[in-house]
Amino acid sequence: MKRKWMAAVALVAVAALTFGTMAYAKRQRGPGGMGLLGGRMLAHMEARLKLTPEQSQQVKGILEAQRNKMKERLGGGRKEHSALAQAIFSDNPNLEAIREQVTAMQKQHAQVLEEMVGTGLEINKVLTSEQRAELQQAMAEHKQVREKMRERLQQRREGKPPAPGTPETPE
């Protein structure tokens, strides 16, 4: 039982370290980067949904508030992930302390998710029915693009050539 618990904790630690690295990399892209709070996403959203100037200002305000909350909340994330990894791979891991760290990190991630949902709901209030429908369409298209990219990546890993007529993704 102890080995299963240690394996589960190690898996959580690796996932947490991966999440932390990805979050850090996204933050390094700057204000024009991709993601929910990125400037490029907002510009694309404004154009695709044909936001009015008033709607644009409202959405920018909502996203700016969310960005500030995330900076505060995620500021210590790297330290927590590093501390968890050190605790797991120490000579004498303290399972109870590791559990407490994992629980605290899970609570923080749940709070971040709740805040993101709240941000989405605030933005939703600003949009018209037509804009919501267009946003749903854009999300479906984005999902298809992600799935195609995932398939191409899997093919590369397996050493298969791209399917005929499939443009190669620049690296």
Q: What tens digit of pLDDT does each residue of 137-164 get?
A: 998 999 999 999 999 999 889 887 766 6
pLDDT at 166: 61
Question: Dihedral (C-alpha) 34, 39, 40, 46: value to the nearest 10 degrees?
Answer: 130
Mean pLDDT of the region 39-54: 87
Residue 121 backbone phi and psi in degrees, to 5: -65, -35
Mean pLDDT of the region 114-134: 93
Regarding pTM above 0.85, the answer is: no
Structure confidence by residue, pLDDT tens digits, 80-98: 888 899 999 999 999 999 9
Can you give the length of the chain in residues?
A: 171
Crossing angle for the helix pair 95-126 and 53-74, to the nearest 10 degrees? 170
| pLDDT of 102 above 80 | yes
Q: Are 148 and 141 in contact (CB under 8 A)?
A: no
- The residue among 71, 67, 108, 101 whose CA lies nearest residue 87 is 101
CB-CB neighbours of 106 under 10 Å: 12
pLDDT at 44: 86
